[in-house]
Structure 1
Amino acid sequence: MVGGSRLRAWKATLGGLMVVLAAPTACAGPYQYYEGTGIHDTTAGEVAGGWENVEGTRVVLRKDGTALLEKLDGQDFDFEDGWRLSGTGTWQLTDDNGGQVVRLTLTARTRAESRPTATATDTSTPEPPPTYAWSFYVDRDQNDELKLFFFHGDPDIGNTYVMTRETGS
């Protein structure tokens, strides 16, 4: 019987060790370790202009580095709060090892509203922030057209908020 209890103890120890080792990756969603699109050839002049998405969001990135935002939702978990911000701000195109990113900062909020399909996880909806910053990844679609996106919601799901060139731009 001594051998059987040692075997059970060894199995329990090994099982516990596997749980401890697996825990750090258990919630590692698609974008938690996202390294970027690998796009490095876009210019600020190409990014400048009007952008929109299917939810009625509109962003104008001006060549002078200023921006106009209309009904832009929060990224990551802030999206779940259901607010949409409008106002003015600044933007810049950055580049790192993973690819290019548009850094957009709302500096003067002119309006805050709720998204019609908001699924706030808390019944007490938090006050929308007076300023906010987004990081849009720069990518290209199958037709080589630019698109901008960020991740929103639960990181395990990997939902993307995609902005395409404004119709007529």
Structure 2
Amino acid sequence: MAGGSRLRAWGAILGGLMMVLAVLTACAGPYQYYEGTGLHDATAAEVAGGWENVEGTRVVLRKDGTALLEKLDGQDFDFEDGWRVSGTGTWQLADKEGGQVVRLALAVRTRVESRSPATAADTATPEPPSTYAWSFYVDRDQHDKLKLFFCYGDPDIGNTYVMRRETGS
């Protein structure tokens, strides 16, 4: 009888450990541990210029390392707060083992907007930061044109915020 009780106890412990491991591995979504695109051949001159996305965001990366931002959302979980900031800042192209990234830093916030009217009416919406930093991954599309992107929201979903070269740039 004592042997059967021990066996059941060990079975319960092992079952509990398996459940914990299953939960932990289920949270490791596609972008949670994203290392980069593997791109290492972009130049700062190629990255400089105007960038936009379908949501009306516009970013101008000047050759002197300064930047203009219009309606840029937060990345990762900050995106869910619903704020969009405009202002000025700095940028640089960095090369990491996993690929190149554009590090963009908001230095002076000039305007704050909300992504949707429902968010603006929500009094629980956190105050947007007065300074902020983004890391945009650098990649090339099927036509070998640069695109910049970051991941946002729940990493299990794998949402990307894509910036493409501004029309006419």
- TM-score, normalising length from structure 1? 0.92
What is the DSSP-based 3-state SS (H/G/I as helix, E as strand, rest coil) of the residue aligned with 2:144?
coil
**1:72 counterpart residue number:** 72
Matched with 2:90 is: 90
Superposition misfits of 4+ residues, deviation over 2 angstroms:
1-7, 19-26, 116-120
Deviations along 1:92-126, one digit per CA (max 9) or x if unpaired, are: 00001000000000101111111127669x75111
**C-alpha separation in 2, matches of 1:123 and 1:4:** 58
Residue type matched to 2:44 in 1? A
* 8 A Cα contact 1:69 1:88, kept in partner: yes
What does residue 143 of structure 1 align with?
A: 143
In structure 2, the CA distance between the partners of 1:71 and 1:118, relative to structure 1 (3 Å rule), is farther
Query: In structure 2, the residue corresponding to 1:79 is in which secondary structure?
Result: helix
TM-score under structure 2 length normalisation: 0.92
1:69 and 1:86 in contact (8 A); partners too = yes
Aligned length: 168
Quote the Cα distance in structure 1 between the aligned partners of 2:96 and 2:27: 26
Are 1:26 and 2:34 counterparts?
A: no
Preserved CA contact (<8 Å) 2:119 2:125: no
Gaps of 5+ in 2: none
- Aligned partner of residue 160 in structure 2, secondary structure: strand
**What's the secondary structure of 2:9's corresponding residue?**
helix
Are 1:80 and 1:118, in contact at CA under 8 Å, matched by a contact in 2? Answer: no
Check if 1:109 corresponds to 2:109.
Answer: yes
Aligned to 2:126: 126
Q: Classify the secondary structure of the residue corresponding to 2:13.
A: helix
Query: Over aligned residue pairs, what C-alpha RMSD do you find?
Result: 1.8
Deviations 1:70-93 (A, max 9, x none): 000010111111111111100000
Kindly state the Cα deviation for residue 23 of structure 1 after the two structures are TM-superposed: 4.4
Shift of the 138–114 alpha-carbon distance from structure 1 to 2, 3 Å rule, reads: same
The answer to whether the 8 Å contact 1:75/1:150 transfers is yes
Question: Structure 1: which 5+ runs fail to align?
Answer: none
Give how far 1:9 is off. 2.1
Please give the alpha-carbon distance, in whole angstroms, between the structure 2 residues aligned to 1:125 and 1:9. Answer: 47
Structure-2 residue corresponding to 1:40: 40
SS in structure 1 at match of 2:71: strand
Structure 1 residue 138: Cα displacement: 0.2
Residues 38 and 98, structure 2, Cα contact 8 Å, conserved in 1: yes
2:72/2:85 contact within 8 Å kept? yes
